[in-house]
Amino acid sequence: MPAVSKGDGMRGLAVFISDIRNCKSKEAEIKRINKELANIRSKFKGDKALDGYSKKKYVCKLLFIFLLGHDIDFGHMEAVNLLSSNKYTEKQIGYLFISVLVNSNSDLIRLINNAIKNDLSSRNPTFMNLALHCIANVGSREMAEAFASEIPRILVAGDTMDSVKQSAALCLLRLNRTSPDLVPMGEWTARVVHLLNDQHLGVVTAATSLITTLAQKSPDDFKTSISLAVARLSRIVTSACIDLQDYTYYFVAAPWLSVKLLRLLQCYPPPEDAALRSRLTECLETILNKAQEPPKSKKVQHSNAKNAVLFEAISLIIHHDSEPTLLVRACNQLGQFLQHRETNLRYLALESMCTLASSEFSHEAVKTHMETVINALKTERDVSVRQRAVDLLYAMCDRSNSKQIVAEMLSYLETADYSIREEIVLKVAILAEKYAVDYTCEEVWYRVIQIVINRDDVQGYAAKTVFEALQAPACHENLVKVGGYILGEFGNLIAGDSRSSPLVQFNLLHSKFHLCSVPTRALLLSAYIKFINLFPEVKGTIQDVLRSDSQLRNADVELQQRAVEYLRLSCIASTDILATVLEEMPPFPERESSILAKLKKKKGSMNVPDIDDSRKNMNGNGNGNVEHNNNEPSEITTKSPASVVAALIPTNRPRPTSASPIMLSAGIMTASHPFTDLLNLNSPPATGGGSLLVDVFADFSSQTPADVCEENFSRFVCKNNGVLYENQLLQIGLKSEYRQNLGRMYVFYGNKTSTQFISFTSSSLTSFPQLTVHAKPVEPVIEGGAQMQQIFNIECVTDFTEAPVLNIQFKYGGALQNIAVKLPVMLNKFFQPTEMNSQEFFQRWKQLGAPQQEVQKIFKSQHPMDSDVTKAKIIGFGVALLEGVDPNPANFVGAGVIHTKTTQVGCLLRLEPNTQAQMYRLTLRTSRESVSQRLCDLLSDQF
Numbered residues of the known binding site: 11-12, 43, 53, 57-61
Alpha carbons 938 and 801: distance in angstroms, whole number: 10
Q: Rounded to 5 degrees, what are φ and ψ at 607?
A: -90, 165
H or E element at residue 327: helix 324-337
CA distances from 412 to 408, 409, 417, 603 (A): 6, 5, 10, 21
CA distances from 935 to 20, 541, 860, 903, 910 (A): 55, 79, 18, 17, 12
DSSP designation for 824: -
- H helices of 548-632, in order, are 549-552, 557-572, 575-581, 594-601, 611-619
SS3 483: helix
DSSP 129-159: HHHHHHHHHH--HHHHHHHTTHHHHHHH-TT
Q: Rounded to 5 degrees, what are φ and ψ at 620?
A: 90, 0
DSSP designation for 729: S
DSSP 361-405: TTHHHHHTTHHHHHHHHHH-S-HHHHHHHHHHHHHH--TTTHHHH
DSSP 26-74: HHHHHHHHHHHHHHHHHHHHSSSPPPHHHHHHHHHHHHHHHHTT----S
Classify strands 252-253 and 805-812 as parallel, antiparallel or unpaired: unpaired
Q: Based on the number of CB atoms within 10 Å of its own CB, is 174 exposed (0-12), middle (13-18) or buried (19 or more)?
A: buried
Alpha carbons 205 and 155: distance in angstroms, whole number: 14
Q: Are 647 and 653 in contact (CB under 8 A)?
A: no
Alpha carbons 478 and 501: distance in angstroms, whole number: 23
Alpha carbons 662 and 331: distance in angstroms, whole number: 46
CA distances from 110 to 119, 243, 295, 386 (A): 14, 47, 55, 54
SS3 792: strand
Residue 528: name the closest of 494, 559, 493, 574 by CA. 559
User: Would you say the C-alpha torsion 236, 239, 240, 244 has a positive or negative sign?
Assistant: negative
Alpha carbons 240 and 246: distance in angstroms, whole number: 12
Alpha carbons 140 and 134: distance in angstroms, whole number: 10
CA distances from 926 to 530, 886, 937 (A): 77, 18, 14
Angle at 164 between CA 163 and CA 170, to 5 degrees: 95
Q: Are 793 and 744 in contact (CB under 8 A)?
A: yes
The CA-based dihedral angle spanning residues 133, 138, 140, 146, taken in that order and rounded to the nearest 10 degrees:
-30
SS3 527: helix
Classify strands 815-822 and 708-709 as parallel, antiparallel or unpaired: parallel
* Amino acid residing at 373: V
Alpha carbons 189 and 678: distance in angstroms, whole number: 76
CA distances from 528 to 450, 546, 857 (A): 20, 9, 78
